[in-house]
Structure 1
């Protein structure tokens, strides 16, 4: 610092040189873009591509340098390229090789740079993702190349279709002698698309249902099957089931204009334990109903002095209960803000249907309202956990850690299978990110859980 002061006292030309050295000492020169375009890394993921885009960086005022334009090479990747609406997607924005190099001879120390930025969202969904990176970098020698850096963030999928992700503006904060920022913006936004995410609709509740006129019959008897809530004027197959396998007893017909039907299915297979109905060429938990329990009464003559013993296992329902309806989050201080933490009231799910369909428990939350207005619903995050009762055919899978928001997110689920069901407990740690200067008082939001 003393040498910089001495240089500054001589003449304007030398003062300019001293300013540049002072800039290097603060670590700001490391953030200026160069002009060379770089080739794509050989290790780029197949689902994303590195892209080049013109960047305009503004050095801090103390640097005494004009804005510098150059080319940034970056790549966007995600942890899930095929999410469903309501899912949380983790985004990684990596500046694979900054185009600039240290313009002075003075080396820069390690771990002085903290990056942050935005990823532009386009296509089926619009907006941006805020991303941040750790305060971590190797030492940068004088006139040496700058290291890559990564930033991560998350967003919630709100619409189905192709969602594009492009690198956006970024900033590098330096902590070396002084706290300084160097913002770099995309000169001709948006930058090229680096990653495309294909989102699907979250399956809605399957309300298709069937009922039988009788729960048993002899081989060859016909049972009347009544269906409702199927797609109007669609082809539906009604078939017998022997355990988890479908039998040859089946018929196909078209539903009426309300999505209902009445069919008389002839059941010959003595092993039949139930009857199902479904749209499409094969059973699907999303477009099927049943099985409805049905027993074929075996009329084969018994040997002398014998008795036939019959038993029936009746299918139940899918239900949930919760331990309470209020969660008290921890208090935060005005002027400080931060995480208001708590535990979701435990939810117990009982799947006693005995069919092939799994289940999904999702939640969405309203904005938190209080004396200072509102705290956005997107500020609430959770860390789900679930446990499966021993002996259950299915295994519970917790949802992803991340924001809940008004669009919703998955708390827990079980997959489809040949035979599903069981009893499960679902919990979650919840955290509300309260802005620092939110007006004091009580704030409340409503979390709605939906089991399908």
Structure 2
């Protein structure tokens, strides 16, 4: 027997898995991409459009989150921070449509509690096309900080800047009106034997080629000569400068950055980079330039269009095996295969979760119309496969109870470049109590992709 299906609403995918004897029905839901981790918070923001736009400053609300790769670090550990702006307070200030991949976001994350300061973060030059006067799309920025104090360290989204490199180099800086913004993430650091307390912060997370950036350092050896250097991925660039640490091990210096491939800045004691005697890299990017096309040349441009995060399900009915009255036990079956397609591009991963309702009795042959099987009796054993060539690799959720609170079916982590196709399956098992009244039972399993 099967329920009547209604056509799913836009951005929502549902399937009902009808079952005879002991039955489970499932519906899948497709939500808008919302980022992989961190608590979304709202904060008032003051944004200043480029002067060429001829419009006044914008006071609006930014929705953002901050997440980390380690919520339980030790003193001395380096923590990677991801600042995701879900909804920016500002948008494209001009009537001109902006093409894809011309936005370079930078910003700061504010530390509080046991450790204070700012973490500079920067994002890739990656975005969907932005129509004239349209809101800026969601974007993510990453950076790192070294844990120097034990205790609870709070992380709040801070000021950010949206730089666009198209025809003109334009900036839209947005500041938190009442800092700090609400706390989005908290890490709890524990004591360890600190080997390296050196740390640096930057005066800016971006600049044009040839600009100088202020580098502030703490925890260095008093009186030591400290080298400031640019980094391009894992390699040092030719951009270097030296400063001398003061009596307290602190310094403030300037580094001129010319290399356009720069991704970060480090500071270290000694003749070459040594993680035990250095700090960083602190995220830094060089703004793009738009060189003129030489005479007799033609500039060729193509666009790779970003897609969406979506899922589909193979079939709409799953029948779990019947069990005997008086014996009960496992009523088993297989979830219809779920196909996840992540064609968004960018750094965001995804998560596929599920939760189930209680199984209620249905049908004229049910001896007890009020009988039900608790949702906590349903468990699954997930599996996940990644299609060859996909930038991301999916990870199956843990085997165990689904229940009303839900569990993870599969996920793919954040990364520098994400995307691909994935197939997700699961073995289902409903633990039916021995003397459950005879009849048919059904529940609703909801799958949500974010």
TM-score normalised by structure 1 residue count:
0.38
Structure (1 or 2) with the greater helix fraction: 1
Which is higher, the Rg of structure 1 or of structure 2? 1
- Greater relative CO, 1 or 2 (CA 8 Å, sep 6+): 2
TM-score (norm 2): 0.39
